[in-house]
Structure 1
């Protein structure tokens, strides 16, 4: 495996502009408060993105977006990037801090309009989404943006432009692993697949548990760039020429090697930053102790045994915090086991090599419950009832004619009331790929809650003038049931507020908090599958979105707008 060019790494490290905070290389910040790593005869090849650390309650950074030339597993690539790297820097803050990010878009001008569906004509405009963060979605004051994702491509940061973001992180914010990435409708998949993503770590009380604080941290940002023959991802049309990529990279590396000592405990922060691949992670002969999910502490950590057919399953957008206690000396492999997404079957892939060697260490795993922030208190039946018992029903659905006819033909036409002049907006026809003559939509009967919600009878993509917007009252508590009528799995992601999952397919489960939840596979119009969730809409008014986090689906329209008023 080729080693990084250290002189180039040093140059790029210095290219970050840090107003308040400290820029540290990944190899240094990977160490926890415990034992220093050893340097045996076998060398590590695992490296991490540089880490930008808040100081005195502030992290003030600038990010430059531009094309860059890199080498990916020995292959030259020319991709849109953050700071010229295959992954963006890690932002490291505490609950209660302020994060300030000035984005510079140095990409070339958008190409002349070439797609009849105009939302795909802005591949070089961009924006910034802090995935999972409980943050203000509005323009917080003139010229300063929060997690502003209204997702009109015309409201992105145009080539040559800048945008100032500011995120005031609440003191009770859940500590854990989050991430940031572009989220401009029509361009999300192209830019995230290119590597425009990075980790966002929020620290808090759970990090002070002695066994967790002693563990060395490692960051794993998983990507599956779907490159053309020239090592590029020029536009949406190039992405849909193939259905799915199956080669995983971690922090821009193919199958990196990590070293551990027998008995050592490490904390691994996993981020599924792929645009369309589930992960099914398992480490040979080692259990995975889950201490966090989607940025939320797991109060009672659970250990997932090695080799289960479905081990640590992560949908695109999910994050998991894991503790690993190394066993006997030897070489072990972190694998993404074969996984059935319903519409696609992913083969097994070895994603990293772990070598356990050296003198043993005596380290412990946490035995008791982890501290939980108040905002993650369970939402009880009584709390829901005290807020009116309000519910909604929403549906993810791919609508097409099985014989390949246009969507204006029966039977699909009955489900798709296309307004005059909008037909070109509803589908992506270029190249006659697998997405042609297909509408990727969300449906709901209405945009307001009810004690007796109804299922939709028609469907609209996000870009339609008739797309339904969900209107939610500030400080309300609601229960939503989200259905899929497709055999493939849709990962549902909602911005701003975490949700508590209470049922899958109508059956109660041990409640858990998340922001990205995989709908079950195997749905159909006759027998839809579902998840039921509850949420508190606290702190922030304003518009944001929920959508499928298979980003091809999101770009094609499988998304709805939400506005808290």
Structure 2
């Protein structure tokens, strides 16, 4: 959607995602029996073509190198044509034959084996950056108007953040310049008559994939202040690391009677709003699926399909649910196997309620076709009846058709057989979930792999690990609304946090954002590069657990309430537990301890909440500088991002359990030397 002002931008995010994102996470069971009304403000999508669902094109990195050329071009969506920033590409198919794909709103999904590498060359042919739709904080990128820079981030990967790999501070300048006499690839005044170095318009990358990686990842640009526009205009695609069956051997454990492998559906969603304004008279608000509008999918009666789902858009939450088209009170079960490329470590999670998928997050799951043919399901992004003015996004139509499929479930019902599966293999690189959640704080300044560094409450301490997400107005003529972490705007040249390899840290994430001009808090989607983390507990306002109860009806304890499809035990506390006061001026809420079932790289920070996470810095590949930020990218572009530098105290060596690392005090005392 077009954001007409900072106030409307914030208000519309609240309208579209804010209210439902917290509530839907926590009252999944309560909402399952409710028939949703038809929304009075439905999504606005391009006219449909009644297309049959198609997987994206696949580029096989094991077979050869890949090129992506970023440029402005047109594309078809439904029955209409739009302008976008798109990737053209060359790659090798499954048979090793070189292919070319003209600019596409759905660029190829890269497939690569774990332990192998991706060799990719990015070329920038983007036009000069258009005037931003909202005021942005001043940076060189949005002031000089000479080149629209870009780069490429490999989202979810624990790979090197250094130059030539997953370095998001690297800028690739454009071949297109404001003045035709200026050479592409340089900032103004930086192009000498006889340059010693070539301009940076083409950037080769070599990304080594770890052996423990598998599942659905994605790629997208990450230049500060333009990432939102570039992704909204089409610049994002999927990456699949083969080897998921090492953890959940689906086809082996659930073989069909016809011997065919289970069907894999790769489903990449983007929030579409015609950011380049091809149609200036219309404001779009839609989700696309692999560049299609509400495509038709098919599944046989009783058939098990494996759906890899990614929210690879810029700003909008998905809240997935599969509904029977004839009986909206009938929800179709989904069986979650992995979140953010991290497998569920206990058993597949069966749910009929919504699955919240924030921007950048992924979920991989099983779905089972109905008992008989001619059933129709609607895959929707759901909202709650407490907010009837919200849009409900129709994502795909699923038709049950064909001959029934039966499986050898060893005498058990199929749903029970699925939920009794357990991972065949554990990831030995990361700590065991339950052990990390219960790990004690380190004693003194001796930090080992067997303890968690206790965060300091002193803001001046090097161990201060409380991060407050909020917004403010700059004192400038435009009254620019900016997004912040700990009252700071992002600076590419500033190191905000220093961490050490072979340690574990606990962070507190506070969403205290009540946007300027509104009284309604807004959600944020926290993401950290190169790393995975666990959520140990979250504190929420009581109305999000019990939205219809009067204040004096809040029970003191609740058990087994779902948080992000996790069980939680929540204890009510009346004083000083939340960043923002409620309607009565009190700071109160539920402190919820979570049951662990998997690592994450992106998590929703609900409205007016406090979230605690634990991060293991155990992967030596990640040494270097990278970022953490809100993955609602308009917030990231307006300042809600910081830099973290991870240092290796013993380069090239892994510490054994019980071995101490240098104290953070000794590390921080040499910080200036390290940064330099």
- TM-score scaled by length of structure 2: 0.62
Q: Which of 509, 514, 517 is 2:603 aligned to?
A: 517
* 2:467 matched residue in structure 1: 395
Greater RCO (CA < 8 Å, at least 6 residues apart): 2
Cα distance, 1:229 vs. partner?
Answer: 8.1
* 2:267 matched residue in structure 1: 220
497-506 vs 76-85, greater mean Cα deviation: 497-506
- Tell me how far apart the structure 2 counterparts of residues 340 and 102 of structure 1 sit (CA, whole Å): 47
- Tell me how far apart the structure 2 counterparts of residues 230 and 250 of structure 1 sit (CA, whole Å): 20
Instruction: Please list the CA deviations of residues 177-225 of structure 1 after superposition, one character each: whole Å capped at 9, or x if unmatched.
Output: 1110001101100011111111111122125442478321111111112
CA shift in 2, pair 1:116/1:536, >3 Å: closer
Cα distance, 1:338 vs. partner?
Answer: 1.3
- Tell me how far apart the structure 2 counterparts of residues 69 and 44 of structure 1 sit (CA, whole Å): 19
Q: Which of 81, 85, 92 is 2:104 aligned to?
A: 85
* 1:117 matched residue in structure 2: 138
- Tell me how far apart the structure 2 counterparts of residues 167 and 340 of structure 1 sit (CA, whole Å): 45
CA shift in 2, pair 1:464/1:120, >3 Å: same
* 1:550 matched residue in structure 2: 632
The runs of 5 or more residues in structure 1 that have no matched partner are 1-42, 140-144, 401-405, 409-422, 430-435, 444-458
Cα distance, 1:477 vs. partner?
Answer: 1.3
- Tell me how far apart the structure 1 counterparts of residues 616 and 382 of structure 2 sit (CA, whole Å): 32
CA shift in 2, pair 1:188/1:230, >3 Å: closer
CA shift in 2, pair 1:166/1:464, >3 Å: closer
Correspondence 1:167-316 to 2 at 5 A: 167-173=207-213, 175-204=214-243, 205-206=246-247, 208-209=249-250, 210-211=252-253, 214-227=261-274, 230-231=277-278, 246-284=285-323, 285-306=331-352, 308=353, 311-316=354-359
CA shift in 2, pair 1:271/1:115, >3 Å: closer
- Tell me how far apart the structure 2 counterparts of residues 94 and 51 of structure 1 sit (CA, whole Å): 13
Helix, strand or coil for the counterpart of 1:63? Answer: strand
- Tell me how far apart the structure 2 counterparts of residues 116 and 303 of structure 1 sit (CA, whole Å): 43
* 1:559 matched residue in structure 2: 641
- Tell me how far apart the structure 2 counterparts of residues 180 and 116 of structure 1 sit (CA, whole Å): 25
Correspondence 1:134-533 to 2 at 5 A: 134-139=158-163, 145-150=164-169, 155-159=171-175, 161-173=201-213, 175-204=214-243, 205-206=246-247, 208-209=249-250, 210-211=252-253, 214-227=261-274, 230-231=277-278, 246-284=285-323, 285-306=331-352, 308=353, 311-328=354-371, 329=373, 330-338=375-383, 346-363=390-407, 366=418, 367-370=420-423, 371-376=425-430, 377-378=432-433, 379-382=436-439, 385=442, 387=448, 389-390=452-453, 391=455, 392-400=464-472, 407-408=474-475, 429=478, 436-443=479-486, 459-463=487-491, 469-486=496-513, 487-505=521-539, 506-511=591-596, 512-521=598-607, 523=608, 528-533=609-614
Cα distance, 1:347 vs. partner?
Answer: 1.7
Helix, strand or coil for the counterpart of 1:533? Answer: strand
The runs of 5 or more residues in structure 2 that have no matched partner are 1-49, 89-102, 176-183, 185-200, 256-260, 324-330, 408-413, 456-463, 514-520, 540-590, 648-676
Instruction: Please list the CA deviations of residues 248-292 of structure 1 after superposition, one character each: whole Å capped at 9, or x if unmatched.
Output: 110111100011110111111111112111111111241110001
Helix, strand or coil for the counterpart of 2:119? Answer: strand
Instruction: Tell me if structure 2 keeps the 8 A contact 1:97–1:169.
Output: yes
Helix, strand or coil for the counterpart of 1:248? Answer: strand
Cα distance, 1:345 vs. partner?
Answer: 7.3
CA shift in 2, pair 1:96/1:340, >3 Å: farther
Moved over 4 A (4+): 109-116, 339-342
- Tell me how far apart the structure 1 counterparts of residues 440 and 205 of structure 2 sit (CA, whole Å): 34
Instruction: Determine if the alignment matches structure 1 residue 96 to structure 2 residue 123.
Output: no
Q: Which has the larger radius of gyration?
A: 2
Instruction: Tell me if structure 2 keeps the 8 A contact 1:474–1:537.
Output: yes
Instruction: Please list the CA deviations of residues 363-406 of structure 1 after superposition, one character each: whole Å capped at 9, or x if unmatched.
Output: 35643211321124322544753536422433343333xxxxx6
Cα distance, 1:482 vs. partner?
Answer: 1.1
- TM-score scaled by length of structure 1: 0.73
CA shift in 2, pair 1:326/1:438, >3 Å: same
Helix, strand or coil for the counterpart of 2:203? Answer: strand
More strand by share: 1
